[in-house]
Structure 1
Amino acid sequence: MSLRLRVFCGALVALFALGGAGSVSAQGAVLRVGLYALPGTLDPAVAAEGSAAIVTRQIFDRLVHYRESSSDVEPGLATQWSVARDGLSWSFRLREGVRFHDGTPLTAQHVAVSLERLLFPGHPQAPEQNPMVPRLLRGTPGVVKEIRVADARTVQIHLVLPYAPLLTVLAHPALGITRAVTGPDGGTRWIGTGPFSPAEAGPGRIALDAHGAHWGGAPRLGRLVFLEYPDVERGEADVDAGALDVLIPDGAPSRLAGALSIPGWRIGYLAMQTERDPFSRKKVRQALAAALDPQAIGAAVEPAAAPLLSFLPPGVWGSAGPAAAGSARPAVARRLLAEAGLGRGLSLSLLVAPLGWGVDAARLVEAVQGALAQAAIAVTVPPEPGEAALRMARSGEHQMALVEAEAEGGDPHLLLYPLSTSEGATKGAAAVNLSFYRNQRLDDLLIRGSQLSFRPERQRVYARAQALLADEVPWIPLYVRLHWAVARPEVRNLRLHPSGFHRLDRVVLEPPPLAPAPLPTPRP
């Protein structure tokens, strides 16, 4: 069902017509972007996931921003930051000369109020829904003790315990810096400092105008128009017809012509119940990793996903590259099974949790079964539906389970820690370590990685943790989901981001090529 929007930008005298291909506003080209759903509000705390966050990401800057093609960060509203030696206090120095879209100068007080409303549920400006921030900061207020204003350009975040992922997750659109004002209808409107500002809204459409005074430079477009396109094939047809410039679908497009993709932060993996035989034996787990075939898995999950050979997706900083995942070496797998006392092979059961859009679970299961059969491992799939299978896996009632997980916020801690440490291995609805693997050495590494504020040292810790995972193999990464877009040839400099929150202010829309002039008719 389409989300209906109320007009949120105040006293707009008239709605401007949205132009056709290569159309130009008073400030420059108009880029029409199709999304599978539009947000019902432009509060970044609420519109924090999926296509909704693509819209708010253009309006609201964060203290830090994700770097291109990575979850590493670069300066945003803050140009400098430092952390106390005990890791309990972070200080951010704000950029000079930044103004909100209404001309109000940005101050540290604005930043403090903007963050406090997300962290403290009793705050007068607390959002009605806050789906993302508690997941990024271990609750609300979670790891945050308080926000302090040191001076007009310095804001401090004080923590209850060292939490190094803070720097990465501050780049998430949910933590966009806002200023609340009262609209003509008496409701709250949220104003940002980003490269675009809200211009108009209606059912199935949101228009943003370029903010020419943006601190990062004026956008290369005059206007963004977001249009709701839940039907991918209709969106593709409109791109072909020149009625739409870019389509960003929920899943993979139906065709690859004019399409581009990037690996995201969501992965699919094989969890093995390490508390139970045979997966209490490391060599059995290593045998499965040796037997799995990345090429076959890739063929099974394309075009929604691509094979993953590392414990972190490539777009998450700290990824150590290829590990033990799927090497298609059945002879090695059979040798490892023999060394584990299972030279005649074995039979295993596989639960399949819900895998979401695009991935054909039946094809993926066939690829896993086929690869393991080459190593004398027979795999059967019980008939439990996806949600029942997930409940069984969380209760530890499985041998193997196909599951998905995400490095939310882009920090390696938010994937490796829940999937691999003792904290997540308590059976029940809250279980996230579905291998129920416990290793004090790995726990210590991942806890240390969450506390170290010096990024190169964190990188070394996560490299060691991934090497340990590659040896112990409690779970096997299988695939990484892809973010897709389809664009007209005239769209230039569209660069997708692994987060799915793509930056659009650097996009250029070139005019369509002129039709060749007709040849003169020869005289008789």
Structure 2
Amino acid sequence: MHRLTSVLACCAVLLAACGTADAERPTGDALTVGLAAPVSCLDPHQTPQTSNLQVSRQLVDSLTDQDPRTGEIVPWLATSWKVDKQAKRFTFTLRDGATFSDGVPLDAAAVVANLDDISRLGARSPLGSGYLAGYAGASAPDAKTVEVRFGAPSAQFLQATSTVTLGMLSPGTLGKTPEQRCAGALAGSGPFVLGQVALNEEVRLSARTGYAWASELAAHQGVPRVRALTFAIVTDPSVRHGSLLSGQLDADLQVLQQDQRSFGERGPRLLSATRPGIVFTLLPNESRPALRDPAVRRAIGSALDRSRFAPLLAAGERPATDVLATTTPGYADRSADLAFAPDEAARLLDEAGWRRGPDGVRVMGSQRLSFDLVYSANEPYGSVYQLMAQQLAEVGIELRPTPLDDATNSARQGSGDYDFVSWAVTRGDPAVLASVYPVESANPLQRTQPDKVDSTIARIATVLDPAERAGAVETAAKAILSGGHGIPLFEQASSVGLAERVTGVRLDASGRPIFQDAEVRA
């Protein structure tokens, strides 16, 4: 049973005596939100995990914002900006009056300190290190002007300034250790401030007094309309959904496909959008002997019938048709490269020297074609992995889905002790590919030598002409797929269930919910 006690059954502290009956719940201004996975780190500079960033987005503002409908970059903390012709120098003009929750002014020096911090974090910032690739430093000519320099063209940086990863933290926070910041010792410039933090149970936020600098996309610029916001960790989807329908939760941040029928024009509503970026992808550890062979990696992709994933996915999610989600600039329908072709998979394995053993699993000498897929037991895709294992068994490949507790999973992934992992990375720019595949990235593939994959992905970030950039994305995607470096599975979606009494919640360009405009109707 997931811990709902303090938030859903005993919410007297937060919700002022909610009691046990729905009629006793306040009709005031506090929201309780169900998260599908534990919160392991609240520092947006460090964490790439969705559940963490869903909370952190409420705590920090960014220099810019991205319109999810058009992809346009619009003002937020910066009122305007200039980019030189080579996209190597970016100059931002900051708005007046913004501060951090510890009272420190959000000035140009603070912005420089944040960029320098992310650069120094290096591998501790798997997303930020990609966003700041080629970073040559930043300076503050005056309190309202920030100049950011790159050693090579950085066509992706302006969009990166809209992400939560490049969100602003107080200079005092930047002086704390990475571990302290992950645990919640941080002050941001956003509309909410941290209260009680129990990373595996709940995170409580409160509206920030005096806040008046929301994104241009916000309905209003001022203090949030809800005074308190609690993220409750509820990993069981049936418990989350039932709690939303019963009124114990005001929002469910991951609605399953099977529960979509509960939503309509009346009663609870569904807010859904496909997340841009790298689709949920099976990533091979290419340092493993069998997985060094591109033929084996390609065979695994050909043996998967992605159409059968659909009933097991969350609402709005669908089988992948590219390495990128359909909402990402540079997406193209490459479904022909992802076609279900078990005969082709068998041919590739036969030619590579893998023969069926007595138990049906292919062997080469004493080596079995058998792999572990490690993942967090809190992840909602265990049933998809089991289906994948069944499909791969039909061509003689043994896949062992291996659910682990979060600490063990992090340790295994951090040390490279796995055959496969599954990742998705959300970002509304095709340069997101640089966060996973190159040797100088987070590198879950455990690659050691740069090759065409690295050079083609690097070009995406430097090409300014839109047509040339689209061509660079095409070349990179083909290199990934033809080499079997990534095996796309499905597009992820943000599917947020909202209680009927809740209005004003919107999804940002990454599909993360924004609660600054949320209201609670009586």
Q: Confirm or deny a common fold (TM above 0.5).
A: yes
Pairing 1:248-397 to 2, within 5 Å after superposition: 248=253, 255-256=259-260, 257-258=262-263, 261-264=272-275, 267-269=280-282, 271=284, 280=293, 289-299=301-311, 306-330=318-342, 347=362, 349-356=369-376, 357-359=378-380, 361=382, 364-367=385-388, 369-370=390-391, 373=394, 377-381=395-399
* Cα deviation, residue 293, structure 1: 1.0
CA distance in 1, matches of 2:126, 2:241: 36
Q: Is the 8 A contact 1:34 1:226 kept in 2?
A: no
1:476 matched to which residue of 2?
487
2:503 to 485, 489, 492: 492
Specify the alignment match of 2:128 in structure 1.
136
Structure 1 residue runs without a partner (length 5+): 3-13, 122-129, 425-429, 512-524
Give the deviation of 1:137 after TM superposition: 1.8
Please tell me whether residue 405 in structure 1 is matched to residue 428 in structure 2. no
Contact 1:235–1:244 (8 Å) recurs in 2:
yes
1:213 and 2:212 correspond? yes
Give the secondary structure class of the aligned counterpart of 2:375.
Answer: coil
Does residue 501 (structure 1) correspond to residue 504 (structure 2)? The answer is no
TM-score with structure 2 setting the length: 0.68
Distance 1:21 1:455, change over 3 A: farther
Q: Displacement, 1:170?
A: 2.7
Structure 2 partner of 1:515 = none
Asked if 2 retains the 8 angstrom alpha-carbon contact of 1:63 and 1:77, the reply is: yes
- Which whole-Å CA distance do the structure 1 matches of 2:336 and 2:108 have between them? 47
The corresponding residue for 1:522 is none
Separation in 2, partners of 1:476, 1:71: 27
| Paired residue type of 2:168 | I
Letter in 1 for 2:516: D
CA contact (8 A) 2:27 2:521 kept: no
The answer to whether the 8 A contact 1:33-1:224 is kept is no
Match of 1:153 in 2: 144
Instruction: Determine whether 1:247 maps to 2:252.
Output: yes
Equivalent positions of 1:89-108 (< 5 A) are: 89-95=89-95, 106-108=106-108
- Please tell me the residue identity of whatever aligns with 1:353: L
CA distance in 2, matches of 1:291, 1:44: 37
Deviations 1:321-365 (A, max 9, x none): 33445423446667x659969999993624122123335557535
Is 2:172 the counterpart of 1:167?
no
Amino acid at match of 2:225: G
**Which of 444, 467, 474 is the aligned partner of 1:432?**
444
Paired residue type of 1:269: L
Q: Distance in 1 between matches of 2:310 and 2:448?
A: 27
Secondary structure of residue in 1 paired with 2:308: helix
Contact residue 505 and residue 517 of structure 2 kept, 8 A: yes
Task: For 1:41 and 1:381, locate their aligned partners in 2 and report how far apart those are by CA, in whole Å.
Answer: 30
Name 1:9's counterpart in structure 2. none
The residue aligned with 1:446 is 457
Give TM-score scaled by structure 1 length: 0.67
- 1:82 — aligned with what? 82
Rg comparison, structure with higher value:
1
Structure 2 regions of 5+ residues with no counterpart? 4-12, 19-23, 174-179, 264-269, 364-368
Shift of 1:449: 1.5
Superposed CA RMSD? 5.2
* Cα deviation, residue 477, structure 1: 0.9
**Cα shift at 1:77:** 1.7
Q: Does the residue aligned with 2:233 lie in a helix, a strand or coil?
A: coil
Distance in 2 separating the partners of 1:113 and 1:460: 36
Residues 210 and 329 of structure 1, relative CA distance in 2, 3 Å threshold: farther
SS of corresponding position for 2:396: strand
The 3 A distance-change label for structure 1 pair 18 and 89 is farther
CA apart distance, 1:65: 2.1
Alignment match, 2:8: none
Matches within 5 A, 1:15-34: 17=16, 23-24=27-28, 29-34=29-34
CA distance in 2, matches of 1:199, 1:287: 48
Cα deviation for residue 161 of structure 1 reads 4.7
Q: Secondary structure at the match of 2:80?
A: strand
CA distance in structure 2 between the aligned counterparts of 1:281 and 1:134, rounded to whole angstroms: 26
CA shift for structure 1 position 166: 3.2
> Residue 232 of structure 2 aligns with which residue?
229
Counterparts in 2 of 1:34 and 1:450: CA distance versus 1, 3 Å? same
CA distance 1:248–1:475, shift in 2 (3 Å): closer
2:139, 2:146 within 8 Å by CA — same for their partners in 1?
Answer: yes
Secondary structure in 1 matching 2:513: coil
SS of the residue 2:322 aligns to: coil
Cα deviation, residue 488, structure 1: 1.0
Instruction: Label 1:343 to 1:37 Cα distance change in 2 as closer, same or farther (>3 A).
Output: closer
